[in-house]
Structure 1
Amino acid sequence: MESSRKNIFVFGSDDFNLSLIRALDTAGQYELHSLFSYGEVKGGDEFPVKALYEGALARLNAFPGTVDAIVGYWDFPVSTLLPLLRAPFGLPSPSFESVLKCEHKYWSRLEQARVVPDHIPDFCVVDPFSEDYRQQISIPYPFWIKPVKAASSYLGFNVHNDADLDHAIAQTRRGIARFSQPFNYLLQFANLPEDIAPVDGNHCIVESMISEGRQCTLEGYVHAGEMTVYGNVDSIREGKHHSSFSRYQYPSSIPHRVQNRMISVTEQFLSHIDFDNGPFNIEYYWNQNSDRIWLLEINTRISKSHCPLFLKVDGASHHKVMVETALGRKPDFPHRKGRFRVAAKFMWRVYGNARVKKVPSADQIAALQERFLDADIQLHIKPGMALSDLKDQDSYSYEIAIIYMGADSQKELLQKYRDVTDATGIELEDLHSGRGYNP
């Protein structure tokens, strides 16, 4: 007789997200097991993918009970490793090749060009270690250049001229190995086509600029060949070139007719690459003047950043989608059953390096969360550190904290965010003058 409790292994677990998953299990159906912690998976100076892959398989094989699901909510290397870990146990999962067709940025663009060519920018591939890298680029200035595999806009550069390109190449040569070496290890497990096999993680993709517009992300899943989109989240950018995210806000205010077109493009692409039995999120731009939509990129996981937003607005974290698809079930996800009409994840950013002088203590953060009952505050900084010590930042800013909040209107939401940041009392000091200031 089948046990009523399912053994679910969480790859790269952390306390915050584990608490959200446990809150979903009101019927006591899940037995959660940590399969390496966040710190072991993503907290170091490098990603030990070989040790993680072999170590995870050893732990799973040694487990005395049934392995019913393996889940994860982080990007590389978690999302990339999941299909490889599930396969030996016959668990529901997208294929490894379909995941790579989303996560390998150049391969993904090639596949997109075959089915949705009107919704992608011009692109080409370049070897940053080649002496003739400039001659390999067929895209005119301005353009974006980024590694074929990275995360959180790491080593993504907006290039307007030769000097910008030389700077981007120099920085890429210094930093690309953080992702390229572990990614190249995983590529050995895939059947790569002839036009992709030479393009490993040490390469970059160059893309023409997408005209300015509103950015949003569809959250969805495919179950038994049927695609469902259950939410659309606006991504608001700020800073130089509008390249840094300032907040994710749910639900999207983009017209439903535009959202429906995005859903149609998504379905065409995911069907083309045979992506099945897993969650995804896919990012788009909508140019309001031309009414054109542009596909930015696809992630083969839920966005953990959006989980508290769905909880506040819909009444459940979409970890529910992650778990239920991994168990082979069609998710039963609520709609607008939450406490608030609107919610956001705010990324508190600083533009320019500085040293951290003062942050609120754990007790002070607890008091803030008591004062602002719906706020979840997560600091990334501590006194004495330089902001440049933060890992995997974008090329133009430093994220010092994230704050989740809900409200009944956007106006109320933004005011509550200003009130919280003012109340933290965080102080930074200029690295050169030593002069203190509030971010």
Structure 2
Amino acid sequence: MKKLNSNILSIGKIYDAFPNPELDSNIIELINTINKESDKEEYIYTLVKTLFEHKILEVVLYNIEHSKYSDNKEILFLKEKINNYISYKVEKVYDEHLKILKDTAKSKKIMLIKGMAIKRYYPHWYKRNQGDIDILMKNLNEANVLYENLKCDYYFEKIKLHFLKKDEYTSTIDFLPYDEKNPFIDVHITPYYMWGAVSFFKDIWVDAVIDEDFYYPSIENLILMLCAHISNQWMYRMRDINDLYCLTKDNNINWASIIARADKLGLKSILEVLMVQLKKYYNIDYCFIESKFSIERKLFSILNFGKESYLGSVILESNFLFKNYKKLFDKKTAIIQMIKNTFYMIVTKNRAFNTGNHLKKKKINEVYVLKKLDRNVFENSKKIIDNNLAICNENTNNEYFLTDFGKLYQVFYKD
């Protein structure tokens, strides 16, 4: 069977009104395509799998239910397969956990980021595909306050510490649900880094908006976060194109500022790829986008749409890292860190991982993976990093990190 035409993804774009002639035209084109296939069931299975990979099953389901051809035999079969395949958490589950987060947000600042923030800009009739609940908090101590409120339903296995330089660090903690029906909660600590790159959201709290106790990033920061997430994933999807459309369609966007910041962060090519796709799927023409694609844009645009490709990403990855590192390090160090972290990204799917089992020497731009210490260890020395973190018995076999989460020791990345 032939590879699916990318135009088929138009059934998963955002439509602003129903009934919609453009949607109906796309649906009838899909029906005609299905009817030309010798194995219709296999084609529909491949289609659903593709829609799933692009994270737009929920949008497609709403669209086909509200098209003029919703009762068509092929469309009914497609709807059945989507309902069998779909795996989003019910909205009620998210609402229940957001209430717990909101209780903590009354005393500790919590910012909803990524998908939980972007979905606010979707038309109310659509469900945006949701995965984890990603939040930003000020420090480890405040994250532990949240954990105390969640620990009946959640636990954690690891904490990641990323030391960028000297004693400046950030952290992520994944709260894992005991009940698999509940969403993961990923806690990022300010300053918000993409692993292995500079903190470019240090001022994120300054520009944030507040709504019902939660903080949300500004639209400009959300667009840059979207591009940074794509850089981290080494792929982009139809959902990302829908996200950018919803973020920009009814808002006054300072594109000059966003493009300048994206260029400074090594994210300009990714932003331009998304904007060119907006023209294709939404007929929105950004005349200030260069008409000629650079080689890295061409590779990424073609090879990384809906799937991961090292070939399509490696140039953008290197550019992203180098542009950030050269602001912090001398040129030689920046090049070494760029090469090292690109290698780690290919091998471990994460940048900047130290793979040892204790510090030996705290290096710049390293990520340390920590687990709870399950044995008694006496404190012989203590180095205070800040009010949230100390290193005890540094550079010994009894070394551990002291936090409000308890005593933590370093493990190999894959442990």
What's the TM-score once normalised by structure 1's chain length? 0.28
More strand as a share of residues:
1
Bigger Rg, structure 1 or 2: 2
What's the TM-score once normalised by structure 2's chain length? 0.29
